[in-house]
Amino acid sequence: MDFRSQTAGAGGLAKLSGDTLVVVLPVDADAQSLESPLNELVADALAAGDLQLKPGRTLYIHRPPGLKVRRVVLATAADAGAKALRNALASAIGLLKNGPAKQLGVLLAGDTGLTAEHAEALVAAFSDAAYVYRHTKPSAQPAWEPQRVSLLCAKTEARALDAALARGSAIAEGVRVARECANRPGNHCTPSFLAEQARELGQQHGFKVEVLDRRAVEKLGMGAFLAVAQGSEEPLRFIVMKHEGAGRGEAPVVLVGKGITFDTGGISIKPAAEMDEMKFDMGGAASVLGTFAAIGRLKPKVNVVGVIPACENMPDGRAVKPGDVVTSMSGQTIEILNTDAEGRLILCDALTYVERFKPAVVIDIATLTGACVIALGHHRSGLFTADDELAQALELSGQAALDPCWRMPLDEEYDEALKSNFADMGNVGGRAGGAVTAAMFLRKFTGKYRWAHLDIAGTAWKSGAAKGATGRPVPLLTHFVLGRAR
């Protein structure tokens, strides 16, 4: 899709080019503020009761009198904000996606000035609607995708909006990459597949990519990572990607993504119900790949390192057992009380490994705990950090990207739950506060740099009829990286 800004030009909306006009009406909008004849159309629809100014309502008008476009879709929004615009456009697309509309103009009614957030929300709405997973389902019909979508604006807004639309398109591509990886079944999306995706992105965008095998991981002393991988026939992969957009001596932003390509729970095996969704347990890895796809297009002047420890967690005669003690790369020993708490085991070695980059900041991203889903549901990712400035930067990035997170506590009292009689720590505490104790575990390996943890167990995928990966938190991470650029 081609996204661009557009001014109405001579003749105004009546002479607007394209075949379809989508008008988003905030519930407090005044129909009379629209140009004629659009104001008459809206006023008549409201008076006749065909449209109500309540969020989520839509009305299709074919061959609207006085307008050059063939069709008009009116869509109501809760307010004039970017989030409401995205929701209203999703409703409007529902009326258009089975039709022939190809050249669309989008108008936000009212006197509210358009912002970069509006532009990115528009791209996100259309890109989300255009995504259909087909890799292992060739019978799936391609989604409706218009050729061009124009955001109608004032001349003074056009330049800034074009930049935001380009940024939104790059983020949308990153989201698509993340969704495509995470949606593939575990027999397709293996650790080796993730490594191949990293290499392809490297070739496409000029990233440096290094992939370590088991022998290299053993040499590094990653005992926790090796313990998780030892029950699987699939070979592990430790993936390192580098975007060098700034000076050689500038400390990088490091993104560490959990890459469990399938999680049975190991010997502490999961219930059968919904275990198929454990193919999404590499959502953190997918988000790192997606973020690199986005920054590959945008090429920000910042150094970024992506690290993905990737393996399966399987029950096998060689698999790690509850009660086993392993030695992490940091030298700290871990009693594995529950083999289904494996994500933190592969992450802890990765978090030690990244010390070599002398990072400005490290963010790990993981579908880590069901406890985070209980705490926050599916709307916000869990954010854990003791760094107030870093927390604020991530929260603001999430708000701007419509990919929100919520800060959770890291009080030292939670650390008590991880004590072990047989090792420096256990890998789980009790059931209470499970998302927090998981973060406290990771924190033990991050003492040499600024660090934050994003638990995306509730936001990386959807269940039910809409089952599939969301691509989150690629938008949040991309905004954060761009905010660090010079």
The third-level CATH classification (topology) of the domain covering 175-483 is: Aminopeptidase (3.40.630)
The pLDDT value given to residue 10:
57
pLDDT category of residue 23 using cuts at 50, 70 and 90: very high
Whether 301 is catalytic is: no
Q: What is the pLDDT of residue 238?
A: 98
- Mean of the pLDDT values across residues 75-85? 96
What is the mean pLDDT of the segment spanning 452-473?
Answer: 97
Nearest Cα neighbor of 124 from 80, 183, 158, 174 is 174
Instruction: Give 340-350 pLDDT, tens digit per residue.
Output: 999 999 999 99
User: Per-residue pLDDT for 356 more than 80?
Assistant: yes
199, 214, 270, 450: the catalytic one is 270
pLDDT at residue number 452: 98
What would the pLDDT profile of 107-147 be if each residue is shown by its tens digit?
999 877 899 999 999 999 999 999 999 999 999 988 889 99
Indicate the domain borders of the chain. Answer: 2-153, 175-483
Per annotation, catalytic residue among 344, 380, 443, 472: 344
HEC profile for the chain? CEEEEECCCCCHHHHCCCCEEEEEEECCCCHHHCCCCHHHHHHHHHHHCCCCCCCCCEEEEECCCCCCCCEEEEEEECCCCHHHHHHHHHHHHHHHCCCCCCEEEEEECCCCCCCHHHHHHHHHHHHHHHCCCCCCCCCCCCCCCCCEEEEECCHHHHHHHHHHHHHHHHHHHHHHHHHHHHHCCCCCCCHHHHHHHHHHHHHHHCCEEEEECHHHHHHHCCHHHHHHHCCCCCCCEEEEEEEECCCCCCCCEEEEECEEEEECCCCCCCCCCCHHHHHHHHHHHHHHHHHHHHHHHHCCCCEEEEEEEEEEECCCCCCCCCCEEEECCCCCEEEECCCCCCHHHHHHHHHHHHHHHCCCEEEEEECCCHHHHHHHCCCCEEEECCCHHHHHHHHHHHHHHCCCEEEECCCHHHHHHHCCCCCCEECCCCCCCHHHHHHHHHHCCCCCCCEEEEECCCCCEECHHHCEECCCCHHHHHHHHHHCCC
Q: How confident is the model at residue 9 (pLDDT cuts 50, 70, 90)?
A: low
Same fold, 2-153 and 175-483: no
pLDDT-derived band of residue 11, with 50, 70 and 90 as boundaries?
Answer: low
Fold of 2-153: Leucine Aminopeptidase, subunit E; domain 1 (3.40.220)
Question: Taking all residues of the chain, what is their mean pLDDT, rounded to a whole number?
Answer: 96
Is residue 148 among the annotated active site residues? Answer: no
- Mean per-residue pLDDT for 314-319? 97
Structure confidence at residue 31 as a pLDDT band (50, 70, 90)? confident
Q: Identify the pLDDT of residue 15.
A: 81
